[in-house]
Structure 1
Amino acid sequence: MSITAKQVQELRQATGAGMMDAKRALQETDGDMQAASELLRTKGLADAKKRSDRAQTQGAIGHYLHYQADRPVIGVMVELAAETDFVAKSDDFQNAARDIAMHVAAARPSWVTREEVPSDAVAKERELIAEQAKHEGKPEHIIDKIVEGRLNSFYSDNVLYDQEFVKSEVYEGTVGELVQHLASTMGENISVARFTRLQVGETAE
Structure 2
Amino acid sequence: MIEVIKKIRQETGVSLALCKKALEEAGQDAEKAKELLRKWGQELASKRSGRGTSQGIIEAYIHANKKIGVLIDLRCETDFVARNKDFQELAHEIALHTAAMNPLYLSAEDIPAEVIEKEKEVYRAQMAKEKKPKEIMEKIIEGKLDKFRKENCLLLQPYVKDADKTIQDLINDNIAKIGENIILARFIRFER
TM tier relative to shorter chain: 0.7 to 0.9
Task: State the partner residue of 1:30.
Answer: none
Structure 1 position 197, deviation (Å): 0.6
2:185 corresponding residue in structure 1: 193
Q: Is the 8 A contact 2:72 2:91 kept in 1?
A: yes
Question: Which deviates more, 122-131 or 148-157?
Answer: 122-131
Aligned counterparts of 1:43 and 1:105: Cα–Cα separation in 2:
30
Contact 2:41 2:172 in 1 (8 A): no
1:173: which partner in 2? 165
Supply the distance in 1 between the matched residues of 2:80 and 2:130 (Cα, whole angstroms). 55
**Please, which of 56, 74, 79 is the counterpart of residue 59 of structure 1?**
56
Map Cα deviations across residues 11-45 of structure 1 (whole Å, 9 max, x no partner).
x949x6977xx98x9xxxxxxx649x87x989877
Per the normalisation by structure 1, the TM-score is 0.72
Structure 1's consecutive aligned runs of 4 or more residues displaced over 3 angstroms after TM superposition are: 16-19, 40-50, 135-139
Name 2:140's counterpart in structure 1: 146
Contact kept? 2:42, 2:176, Cα under 8 Å: no
Paired position in structure 1 for 2:28: none
Deviation at 1:167, TM superposition (A): 2.0
- Picking from 119, 125, 129, the partner of 1:131 is 125
Q: CA deviation at 1:67?
A: 2.7
State the AA in 1 paired with 2:178: M
- State the AA in 2 paired with 1:179: I
**TM-score of the superposed pair, with normalisation by structure 2:** 0.76
Sort the Cα spacing of 1:189 and 1:17 in 2 relative to 1 into closer, same or farther, 3 A. Answer: farther
Preserved CA contact (<8 Å) 2:99 2:189: yes
Distance 1:152 1:34 in 2: 36
2:112 corresponds to which of 111, 118, 128: 118
Unpaired segments ≥5 residues, structure 1: 1-8, 26-32, 201-205
Q: Percent identity?
A: 38
Query: Does the alignment pair 1:101 with 2:56?
Result: no
Larger radius of gyration: 1
Q: Which residue of 1 aligns with 2:153?
A: 159
> RMSD across aligned C-alpha pairs, in angstroms?
3.2
3-state SS of 2:116 partner: helix
Higher relative contact order (CA 8 A, sep 6+): 2
Query: 1:175–1:84: structure 2 CA closer, same or farther, 3 Å change rule?
Result: same
Q: Is contact 1:134–1:140 with CA below 8 Å preserved after alignment?
A: no
